Every structure is written in structure tokens, then in C-alpha cells.
């Protein structure tokens, strides 16, 4: 076994200006919110004013978020271990907040369901398409890191977890919540939590983008691997949207399917545009990227 190198007592110290360390600072400042302190009293009242069809649409969305947050909480550890094995201290420091926040998101949606009295089995909302993503692709991709920490395996994990599940699927879900409930001024506790989640996830997505940019800078061939994986995953996002509308062009809240599709495709495009900027960059530029450029809220 090689002798351990302690970075923080060496001349190197902590890379305080690096992007991962700045994300860590952001997380300490903005990530300390408590789901248990959110008041869902009005949410419970608003829930009773919704039609059965509207309740069905929102329950589907919440149940998929609930299961998704549980999944990403369970599936993140192999990535943290991979980064730790490489000795990338500042990245691991940020990832400790990342896992903490995913756990809180899991708690949050369960509290919402409890508050509105929906304590039964909601797994029937997990379609075959949904299961393909969260029951199969996500865990298999992340578990691969337990035995394979190659740049290719890490890049695939970041693509599936950060770029697709968080950067496309979750972002589209937030959009649907805003279109359905915020415009009507309903369920303020749920929407307050969504605002907090969105801020947290902006840091998560930014880290995944940084990680992929670093990997592409170090191993340029990975850009094609990431592009191919996103193209493979894109039809699943389209199918999830179609299933959510269940053959309708307009949801029970007046939300238009075409608008949701356009939002999803824009998210896919934005993620790839940001990654494309890594080609030809020096590693110092990637570590020095600004929070604003990475979309951190």
C-alpha cells in the first residue's frame, strides 16, 4: 500500500479558488434548509380543491420525484468513492453535501405525501419507461464504478446521473410543477421545497458538468462517448413526457404537451452545448470557471 499523502498540511493546502471548492462553499450557505420546517397546512387544504384528474397528474409527478430522489440517494456513493480514490479532496468535500441534499430531497417528498394524506402504494405511477431509467440504467451505471473507475465509466456515470436524470428529467419535472401549481397559487409548501430543490440541483448539475468537462479535457475522445449516451437517453425523456399527458395535448391544468417537449429538448441541447465548450480548453480554465457560467443559482 502506498503511503498516504495529506494535502491540507502540504504546501498545496486546499484549492480554495477551484470550482468544486466554491460549490462546497455555496452548499454550506444555501443547502442548509430543513424539509421538516416547511408548513404544509395550506397544501393539505389546496389538495382537496383539486379535481380527481388533477390530483392524479400531481400524484404521478410527486411519486416519480419521490422514487427518483430515493434512487439517486442510494446510487451516488460509488461516484463519491471513485473521486475519493483519485485523491480529489475538494471534489469529495463538495460531494459530501451533494449526498446530504439528496437525502433531504427524499425526506421532503415523503413529507408532502404524508401531509396530503397519500400514504398508499404509488408504484403504479412508475411506468416501464420510468423503470428503465431508475430501476435499471441509473443503478447499473453507478454500480459499475464499484469495480471500474476508468475515465469512460466515470464519464458515463456523470452523463446518466447529472446530465440526464438531474439536468433533463428533474428540470422538466420542476417545469411541470411550476406550470401546474405555481401559476394557480396552489400548494405553497410544496412549491417552496421545489424552489430549494432547484437551487440544490443547480449545484449538482454544475458539478457533473465540471466533472465531464475535466474528463473531456483530459481525455478528448470522451466527448463522443457522452454525446452518444445522451442521444441514447433522449427518447426516454420524450416518452416520459408523452406518458404524463396520457394521450392528451393539454394537461388538466392547461399545460401544453408541446411546450413540455420543447423544454425537454432545450435542456438536452443546453447540456451538450456547455460540454462542447470544454474541447480545446486548458484544465486551469475548467477549474476556474464561474458559477454563473455553470448555471449555479
- All structural domains of the chain with their residue ranges: 39-280
C-alpha cell at 70: 430515493
C-alpha cell at 247: 394521450
pLDDT (0 to 100) of residue 277: 79
For residue 219, which phi and psi values (nearest 5 degrees)? Answer: -140, 85
Quote the pLDDT of residue 255. 84
pLDDT on residue 96: 97
Segment-wise mean pLDDT, segments of 10 residues, the chain, 297 residues: 84 95 96 96 98 96 97 98 96 97 98 97 96 98 98 98 96 94 94 97 96 95 96 95 90 89 90 83 92 91
3-state secondary structure of 249: coil
According to DSSP, the residues that pair with 256 across neighbouring strands are 250
Contact 205/162 with Cβ under 8 angstroms?
yes
Angle at CA 247, nearest 5°, toward 242 and 253? 85
The pLDDT value recorded for residue 257 is 87
Q: What CATH number should be reported for the domain whose range is 39-280?
A: 1.10.620.20
Q: Is the dihedral of CA 77, 8, 104, 130 positive or negative?
A: negative
Predicted pLDDT at 205: 96
State residue 33's pLDDT score.
96
What radius of gyration do the chain's Cα atoms show? Answer: 20
Q: Beta partners for 250?
A: 256
Instruction: Give me the pLDDT at residue 3, please.
Output: 80
> Which of 46, 54, 66, 50 lies closest to 122, judged by CA?
66
In this prediction, residue 271 carries a pLDDT of 85
Amino acid at each position: 500500500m502506498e503511503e498516504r499523502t495529506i494535502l491540507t498540511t502540504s504546501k498545496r493546502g486546499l484549492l480554495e479558488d477551484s470550482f468544486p471548492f466554491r460549490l462546497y462553499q455555496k452548499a454550506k450557505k444555501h443547502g442548509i434548509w430543513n424539509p421538516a420546517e416547511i408548513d404544509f397546512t395550506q397544501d393539505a387544504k389546496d389538495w382537496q380543491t383539486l379535481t380527481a384528474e388533477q390530483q392524479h397528474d400531481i400524484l404521478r409527478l410527486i411519486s416519480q420525484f419521490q422514487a427518483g430522489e430515493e434512487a439517486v440517494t442510494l446510487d451516488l456513493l460509488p461516484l463519491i468513492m471513485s473521486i475519493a480514490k483519485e485523491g480529489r479532496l475538494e471534489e469529495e468535500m463538495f460531494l459530501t453535501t451533494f449526498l446530504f441534499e439528496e437525502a433531504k430531497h427524499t425526506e421532503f417528498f415523503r413529507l408532502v405525501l404524508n401531509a396530503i394524506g397519500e400514504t398508499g402504494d404509488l408504484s403504479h405511477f412508475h411506468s416501464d419507461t420510468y423503470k428503465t431509467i431508475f430501476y435499471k440504467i441509473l443503478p447499473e451505471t453507478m454500480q459499475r464504478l464499484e469495480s471500474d473507475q476508468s475515465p469512460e465509466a466515470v464519464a458515463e456515470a456523470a452523463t446518466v446521473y447529472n446530465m440526464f436524470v438531474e439536468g433533463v428529467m428533474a428540470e422538466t419535472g420542476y417545469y411541470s410543477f411550476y406550470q401546474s401549481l405555481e401559476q394557480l397559487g396552489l400548494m405553497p409548501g410544496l412549491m417552496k421545497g421545489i424552489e430549494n430543490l432547484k437551487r440544490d440541483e443547480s449545484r449538482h448539475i454544475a458539478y457533473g458538468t465540471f466533472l465531464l468537462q475535466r474528463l473531456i479535457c483530459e481525455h478528448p475522445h470522451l466527448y463522443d462517448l457522452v454525446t452518444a449516451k445522451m442521444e441514447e437517453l433522449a427518447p426516454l425523456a420524450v416518452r416520459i413526457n408523452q406518458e404524463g399527458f396520457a394521450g392528451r395535448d393539454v394537461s388538466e391544468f392547461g399545460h401544453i404537451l408541446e411546450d413540455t417537449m420543447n423544454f425537454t429538448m432545450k435542456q438536452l441541447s443546453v447540456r451538450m452545448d456547455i460540454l462542447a465548450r470544454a474541447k480545446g480548453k486548458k484544465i486551469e480554465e475548467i477549474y476556474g470557471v464561474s458559477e454563473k457560467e455553470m448555471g449555479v443559482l
